[in-house]
Amino acid sequence: VEHRVAPAGEVPPLDLALLRGFAFTCRDDCGLCCYAEPRVRPQERGPLLQIAPETAWVHRADGEFLAARTDGGACQFLVDRRCTVHAVRPSPCREFPLTAHLGLRLQATMVLSCPGVDLTGLDGWRPGAPGPITGLDGELAALRARVDRTTARRMGEAARRRARIARRLERDGRWLEEDEVRSRLRRELPRPGAPEFPVGDPPSADDGLELLPLFFGGLRGPVALASGPGGWQLLELRADGGVERTIAIVPPPTTVPDTTSDGRATLDGYLRYWVERDELFGSVHAAMLESEEGSVEEWARAELRQIGAVVLARADVRARARLARPRPLTRDDVLDGIRATDQDLLDRETWGDRL
């Protein structure tokens, strides 16, 4: 089992390799990332309270969070899709659409659900793809400002959690280092097939609107995806909570949807991008403990097929809600599917941590 983590006391480097080739410009007609309860660090509380003394908080074991409006609504400070405390907004808001996974390395990735991120870079994406990082200076500075010696300590804890999992899987003959699995997956990328369909349903609206996958649909509020009678529902949400209207109800695909060749190339690029994300292994290793079967490579392959299937299913539902007829999914449809999926995948549990 390898240990490559920065020694405690050292400030670990922020790995930016996965940001290359992407550009970002925030859209002023969006507000999608504000349908959230951002975490507020202790040192950010005072400046915020000076501007907004009536701030409503949610207290959890891992800190204090800005309360969103009830029933799937946006953050209390979002008004007409603008942040009313912009100068003192907390770190997750300053950094979005960047996120950093804290594991054996401190790996920055982009939240590809953000409609301000230009996803052109995903077409045929390969590791080591060159290219500038455009439009993210402020977000990168905010992320870097949080990297300090405590980050190295947290990485040490994450590495110990990984080592415990690795020892157990090694004992059962199921372990393989990430680098080895990555090189096998790069040689032969798994794609979703018939066994992955139909994919699992999103939660129902009755389970709570805040649990539903969201995406930007160019409407006043974001669109939530819910399962319900008759299929998957696309629901436009209001900022003050609740559903504004049902846009469409579409039965999800039960077989692999047809995809054009450029749509397949985009999906392949996204899956290759996932192979390089440490989150993939963090969640796969943790999930493997719940079963006695399968090697890391088999689990990672199954996971990538599932990711691809969910992207295609959401792409298909979005395309049919617009066009009301089946057709091969194009590159733009697949990008819609990626945008409706990526944030959910990044929210899964891993043995690592978020910066």
Question: Which of 5, 14, 19, 75 is in the footprint of ligand SF4 by CB under 6 A?
Answer: 75
Q: Does 41 bind ligand SF4 (CB under 6 A)?
A: no
Asked whether the bond before 97 is cis by omega within 30 degrees of 0, the reply is: yes
Nearer to ligand SF4, 146 or 264 (CB): 146
The tokens 């399968």 sit on which residue?
Answer: 294
Number of residues in contact with ligand SF4 under rule CB under 6 A: 22
Q: CA-CA distance, 306 to 342, in Å (whole number)?
A: 13
Residue 157 amino acid letter: E
Nearer to ligand SF4, 93 or 185 (CB): 93
Question: Which of 73, 97, 103, 192 is in the footprint of ligand SF4 by CB under 6 A?
Answer: 97
Tally of CB atoms within 10 A around 303: 18
Q: CA-CA distance, 327 to 237, in Å (whole number)?
A: 28
Name residues contacting ligand SF4, limited to 271-310 (CB under 6 A). Answer: none
**Closest separation in Å from C-beta 63 to ligand SF4:** 15
Residue 333 amino acid letter: D
Name residues contacting ligand SF4, limited to 101-160 (CB under 6 A). Answer: 114-116
**Closest separation in Å from C-beta 180 to ligand SF4:** 36
Q: Does 77 bind ligand SF4 (CB under 6 A)?
A: yes
CB-count burial class (<10 Å; 0-12, 13-18, 19+) for 26: middle
Tokens of 46: 């005072």
Name residues contacting ligand SF4, limited to 168-227 (CB under 6 A). Answer: none
Question: Which of 27, 149, 164, 167 is in the footprint of ligand SF4 by CB under 6 A?
Answer: 27
Question: Which of 83, 189, 247, 248 is in the footprint of ligand SF4 by CB under 6 A?
Answer: 83
Integer CA distances (angstroms), 39 to 57, 91, 208, in order: 10, 8, 20
Nearer to ligand SF4, 32 or 225 (CB): 32
**Closest separation in Å from C-beta 90 to ligand SF4:** 6
Nearer to ligand SF4, 103 or 115 (CB): 115
The tokens 């440490």 sit on which residue?
Answer: 278
**Closest separation in Å from C-beta 350 to ligand SF4:** 23
**Closest separation in Å from C-beta 24 to ligand SF4:** 8
DSSP-derived pairing of the beta strands 117-118 and 214-215: unpaired
Tally of CB atoms within 10 A around 124: 12
Would you tell me the crossing angle of helices 178-187 and 296-323 to the nearest 10 degrees? Answer: 50
329-348 footprint of ligand SF4 as x/- string (CB under 6 A): --------------------
**Closest separation in Å from C-beta 48 to ligand SF4:** 8
Output the DSSP codes for 141-204. Answer: HHHHHT-SHHHHHHHHHHHHHHHHHHHHHHHTT----HHHHHHHHHHS-----GGG-SPPPPPB
Tokens of 316: 């298909």
The tokens 């110990």 sit on which residue?
Answer: 160
**Closest separation in Å from C-beta 40 to ligand SF4:** 9
The tokens 């996958």 sit on which residue?
Answer: 213
Q: Does 19 bind ligand SF4 (CB under 6 A)?
A: no
Nearer to ligand SF4, 73 or 192 (CB): 73
Q: Does 93 bind ligand SF4 (CB under 6 A)?
A: yes
What are the φ and ψ backbone dihedral angles of 200, each rounded to 5 degrees? Answer: -60, 150
Nearer to ligand SF4, 65 or 273 (CB): 65
Q: Does 38 bind ligand SF4 (CB under 6 A)?
A: yes
**Closest separation in Å from C-beta 123 to ligand SF4:** 20
Three-state DSSP class for residue 344: helix
Q: CA-CA distance, 154 to 208, in Å (whole number)?
A: 32
Residues at the interface with ligand SF4 (CB under 6 A): 26-27, 30-34, 36, 38, 66, 75, 77-78, 83, 85, 89, 93, 96-97, 114-116
